[in-house]
Chain A
């Protein structure tokens, strides 16, 4: 039964990295498509659209961070795997869900917002900052989810 607890905790870490990573990949890909469209017409706008393309990439990093912290906490990285009960394992799994789910959806949503921002940059390059701010607003929710995940990971009693 104890190994099932560890399995749930590892599955949680996998979910955090996997879903947040998918969200980022989709978001960055979408902005990349939009950015390529602009650069094909006006290559001088490359640096401006690149900033927008980077924005949805953070969710993937948050997922990676959560997964590493979790693996470190349960001893997969370092001192050796901890002997987790099923309840503890489920708690670790639940701790990973905020960043996994919010990371997935916010990555895609931020990608859409940033791709729309690419349109602003294309038409009015001087208004580029506004496009970045609007896309960055989505980031708030990924950060909140990351915060909840980290707080939970560090406050589960072993």
Chain B
């Protein structure tokens, strides 16, 4: 019953009032230093940190806290966990690479994650795949095999990335969550377009494309592969005939603009949840909104510390949920 989420949705609505608004972002864009950004964040009820790295760490911790809150409040957190599938698979990728390169994986991890990140390196190293979530076991085994056999990091990444997208779609379909199905499909479409474009630029083989592209009801896998094999022009002209023509136009001019388009499309999807009084949608939408807010702040902080112009920063800012 959707009314199970009454308490969680109401709590999320209360938290939404503390999300950054356009005027906050404008003030931070106009700020002259990291310290000034930190001051603005403090005025928006955030913790006081003036060092760039500590600020980024504080933002990551904030997202972690938001996840814990949503996870505790959601009566069915299995549905919500789909939002973290990509983080989980990224962490698997990081673990495998660190294992091969004999480095510490922990600094490469993305949080929040539903995996036990402290134990993950040991789990992968000792091949205890049954400790991993069901949707990751086969991929972990396959990716480990490919990486140790071929040392081909690119192929391993392709296998893991595709598996993450497949797992998201499968779980969203299994749980019959309309919002999550749309989320998984949109994420897949964005990843597939980017992969197909890069592969066509690098003239990758058909078998690599088969491994790397996931496919979705929105963009057919076979058609994408067929057009990508013909070259970037054929791929882009085919995409222009789909509902993703805007994305096709952007990816050919700037990958940063394409990524911004993908993020903005996710926020547009999240905005649908504003009309929902009950259900998982407002919770998922809040997480997406928070993730995007933190991405915006990270872009701002990095750009400010590199002395990037105000115009470029504004151009890169993602759409806000509020």
Contacts and interface: CB of A to CB of B under 8 A. Distances in A.
Task: Name the prevailing secondary structure of the A interface residues.
Answer: helix
Contacts of B3: 30, 112, 115
Contacts of A37: 6-12, 14, 73
A115 B15 contact: no
A115 B277 CA distance: 8
Report the contact-size class of chain A (Cβ under 8 Å from the partner): 20 to 34
B298 interface: no
Contacts of A119: 9-10, 13, 277, 282
A90 B6 CA distance: 40
A113 B205 CA distance: 57
* Interface hub of A41, A42, A119 (most chain B Cβ within 10 A): A119
A122 B6 contact: no
B17 interface: yes
Interface in A97-137: 112, 115-116, 118-120, 122-124
Contact of B277 (A33, A45, A116, A124): A116
Contacts of A116: 277-278
A41 B6 contact: no
Interface string B1-43: 0010011111111111100000000000000000000000000
A36 B7 contact: yes
A52 to B, nearest CB: 10
Interface of A: 30-31, 33-38, 40-42, 45, 112, 115-116, 118-120, 122-124
8 contacts: A34-B6, A35-B10, A38-B13, A42-B14, A112-B278, A119-B10, A122-B17, A123-B16
Q: Which 5 A-B pairs have the closest CB atoms?
A: A116-B277, A37-B11, A37-B10, A37-B7, A122-B13
